[in-house]
């Protein structure tokens, strides 16, 4: 009977996670985040063996996340359109909850595992740090870090090696968090078997970091121009209180490595607040894996409560978290008209395109055409200059045909009236050969 109740609770948690992750797409059937559009476009370029990068017109090269993009390319092999991709984050979130459940069961027990799974289902998503609702590689940390932690506790070193190597090739920040955990595990257990495993995984992944390694120590420093609100506000004040209590309780167990890892990640966040930069892990990529550790630790203290108080606390956490998730706003890069027009361009026009640099992020995947410029991920002045040039061209009703000739641009997508040949809704064509 007890096992049946646990299965029911876990099943409800999985359904809740799937629903909350998919909820933002009920009224918007496309990816939200610029990172999502970037990753699925990279996957499509891999699958089509594109000789050029559609984003910048340079020879196509794999990014520092090749394993992630090859994974997405395996899905793209089924000819997925943008409206199909919105289901994958929900699927990955379900897998992450099962991973957290299996890990926490090994560490602390099934009761704690159920609570940690529920807390994982309620993780927030926002445009800055990301989260389960977005198709971004930081969410791999919620799957592979728990797998590695459990494998460490069970001395299954091949699984530790495989998880670390995959993250090193799929999402370096998540790999660094796992390395930090393994470091603290080594300090607390003196498990020397971890040393060759870690060394070999890093050695095999080194070609992926060739460009970064040439930067020296600077490759381990990360600046970011935005500071998120305080961690308790994002994670939840009640969950944070239970994490603090669990932190002191877990220090009395053999799982001190969990506490040390979470504290080090919090230190990196504080460091960014003081210096405007972090080391080892980029600031905005700290939060999701940190919350993974906080969930496991918080579950330990929650189960120490009397049953009635524990249930009441979980109900309050559930209500507040669901309300926060449902109220979260996500920016929209394109609308249904843009989507239809981009599909028309894919089926009818050839050449390089110019359009709103924000919309260009989605255009690349949908239209499968190179663009003059996209809005850069950071304040890169050379790219921002091209953004200004693109906006100036569009703002002057596309009259500067010399600009089109110089940059070999033939497809113009503009919501404003252009003086060029109109071939479809908001779509214009210019023959650069003439």
Q: What is the pLDDT of residues 197-224, one digit of tens each?
A: 999 999 999 998 888 777 777 767 777 6
Which pLDDT value is given to residue 271? 87
Task: Please say which residue of 327, 346, 380 terminates a domain.
Answer: 327
* 320 and 396 share one domain: no
DSSP 60-113: P---S-HHHHHHHHHHHTT---HHHHTTHHHHHHHHHHHHHHHHHHHHT-HHHH
* 277 and 134 share one domain: yes
The total domain count for the chain is 2
Which pLDDT value is given to residue 3? 83
Q: CA 241, CA 375: separation in Å to the nearest integer? A: 39
Task: Please say which residue of 298, 327, 356 terminates a domain.
Answer: 327
Domain holding 160, by residue range, is 2-29+86-327
For 272-301, how does the pLDDT look when each residue is reduced to its tens digit (9 = 90+)? 888 878 888 888 899 999 999 999 999 999
* 196 and 279 share one domain: yes
8 Å CB contact between 169 and 184: no
In a domain, 57, yes or no: no
In a domain, 96, yes or no: yes
* 318 and 362 share one domain: no
Helix axes 237-250, 307-327, angle to 10 degrees: 130
In a domain, 37, yes or no: no
8 Å CB contact between 245 and 297: no
Regions of the chain where pLDDT drops below 70: 1, 219, 224-227, 433-434
Task: Please say which residue of 327, 359, 384 terminates a domain.
Answer: 327
* 140 and 247 share one domain: yes
* 372 and 261 share one domain: no
* 270 and 416 share one domain: no
8 Å CB contact between 52 and 59: yes
* 196 and 304 share one domain: yes
* 111 and 257 share one domain: yes
Q: Return the structure tokens found at 161.
A: 């090696």
Which pLDDT value is given to residue 281? 87
Q: CA 158, CA 47: separation in Å to the nearest integer? A: 30
* 341 and 317 share one domain: no
In a domain, 306, yes or no: yes
Pairing type for strands 421-424 and 409-413 reads: unpaired
HSE (side-chain half, CA atoms, 13 Å) at 136 = 23
């Amino acid at each position: 009977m007890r096992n049946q109740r646990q299965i029911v609770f876990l099943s409800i948690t999985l359904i809740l996670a799937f629903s909350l992750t998919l909820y933002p797409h009920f009224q918007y059937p496309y990816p939200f985040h610029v990172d999502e559009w970037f990753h699925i476009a990279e996957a499509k370029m891999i699958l089509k063996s594109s000789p050029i990068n559609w984003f910048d017109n340079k020879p196509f090269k794999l990014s520092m996340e090749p394993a992630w993009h090859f994974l997405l390319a395996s899905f793209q092999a089924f000819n997925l359109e943008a409206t199909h991709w919105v289901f994958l984050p929900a699927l990955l979130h379900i897998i992450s909850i099962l991973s957290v459940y299996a890990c926490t069961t090994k560490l602390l027990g099934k009761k704690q595992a159920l609570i940690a799974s529920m807390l994982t289902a309620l993780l927030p998503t926002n445009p800055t740090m990301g989260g389960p609702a977005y198709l971004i590689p930081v969410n791999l940390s919620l799957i592979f870090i728990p797998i590695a932690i459990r494998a460490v506790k069970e001395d299954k070193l091949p699984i530790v090696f495989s998880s670390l190597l995959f993250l090193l090739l799929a999402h370096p920040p998540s790999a660094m968090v796992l390395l930090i955990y393994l470091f603290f595990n080594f300090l607390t257990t003196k498990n020397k078997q971890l040393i060759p495993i870690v060394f070999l995984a890093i050695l095999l992944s080194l070609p992926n970091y060739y460009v970064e390694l040439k930067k020296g120590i600077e490759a381990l420093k990360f600046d970011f121009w935005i500071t998120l609100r305080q961690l308790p506000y994002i994670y939840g004040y009640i969950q944070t209180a239970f994490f603090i209590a669990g932190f002191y309780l877990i220090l009395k167990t053999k799982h001190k490595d969990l506490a040390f890892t979470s504290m080090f990640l919090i230190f990196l966040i504080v460091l960014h607040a003081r210096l405007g930069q972090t080391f080892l892990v980029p600031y905005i990529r700290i939060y999701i894996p940190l919350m993974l550790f906080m969930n496991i630790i918080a579950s330990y203290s929650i189960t120490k409560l009397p049953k009635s108080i524990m249930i009441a606390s979980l109900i309050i956490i559930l209500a507040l978290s669901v309300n926060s998730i449902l109220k979260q706003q996500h920016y929209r890069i394109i609308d249904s008209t843009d989507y239809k027009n981009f599909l028309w361009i894919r089926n009818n026009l050839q050449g390089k395109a110019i359009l709103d640099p924000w919309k260009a992020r989605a255009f690349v995947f949908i239209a499968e055409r190179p663009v003059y410029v996209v809005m850069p991920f950071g304040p890169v002045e050379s790219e921002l200059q091209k953004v200004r040039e693109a906006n100036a061209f569009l703002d002057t009703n596309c009259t500067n045909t010399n600009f089109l000739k110089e940059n070999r641009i033939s497809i113009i997508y503009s919501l404003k009236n252009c003086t060029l040949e109109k071939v479809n809704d908001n779509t214009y064509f210019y023959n650069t050969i003439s």
